Structure 1
Amino acid sequence: MAKPNKKGPVTRVTITCSRCRAKLFYYRKGGKGALVKCFKERIVKDFTEVEGQCPGCQQIFARDCLIRGAPALKIIGGKVRAS
């Protein structure tokens, strides 16, 4: 399987916690689909102290994993919002 494109898309979205609306990170998202995974190399600015945990309400919103050989965060359904 091919690795994700290093440069990636130029569309930047803000990822927020669905419970407390705290900013989690800015992400370069490609495509029109739902946010299922976030490749770490596409995260522009990270507001979290602990990876995968909301800084506001301490809710776990993602798990660390490898997708197509690249480090990524697998998003837990319904825990985040992309805008």
Structure 2
Amino acid sequence: MAKPNKKGPTKTVDIFCVKCKTLLFKYRKGGKGALVKCFKERIVKDFTIEPATCPECGVVFGRDTLVRGTPAFKIIGGKVTMK
């Protein structure tokens, strides 16, 4: 399988915790679908202290995984929202 584009898209989205509305990431997202995974190389700014855990309420919103050979967070449905 092909790896994701290194440079990636230029459009950034803000990713928030659904429970406490804390800003988690600024992420370069491609396409207009739902947020299923976050490639770590596309995260512009990371506001989390522990990986895939909300710093405010402690909810785990994703799992560490490899997608197409690239490190990523697999997002758990309903735990985050984006604007």
Q: Give the TM-score range, shorter chain.
A: over 0.9
1:24 correspondence with 2:13 = no
Aligned residues: 83
| Percent identity for Structure 1 against Structure 2 | 66
> Normalising by structure 2, what TM-score?
0.99
* TM alignment of 1:26-41, pairs within 5 A: 26-41=26-41
Provide the rounded CA distance (Å) in 1 between the counterparts of 2:14 and 2:30. Answer: 13
Q: CA RMSD in A?
A: 0.3
SS in 1 for 2:41: helix
Provide the rounded CA distance (Å) in 1 between the counterparts of 2:80 and 2:48. Answer: 13
SS in 1 for 2:13: strand
> In the alignment, what sits opposite 1:77?
77
> In the alignment, what sits opposite 1:57?
57
Deviation readout 1:19-57 (Å, 9 max, x if unpaired): 000010100000010000000000000000000100010
> In the alignment, what sits opposite 2:5?
5
Provide the rounded CA distance (Å) in 1 between the counterparts of 2:19 and 2:34. Answer: 18
- Listed as ranges, the gaps of 5+ residues in structure 1 are none
Runs of at least 4 residues of structure 1 off by over 3 A?
none
SS in 1 for 2:16: strand
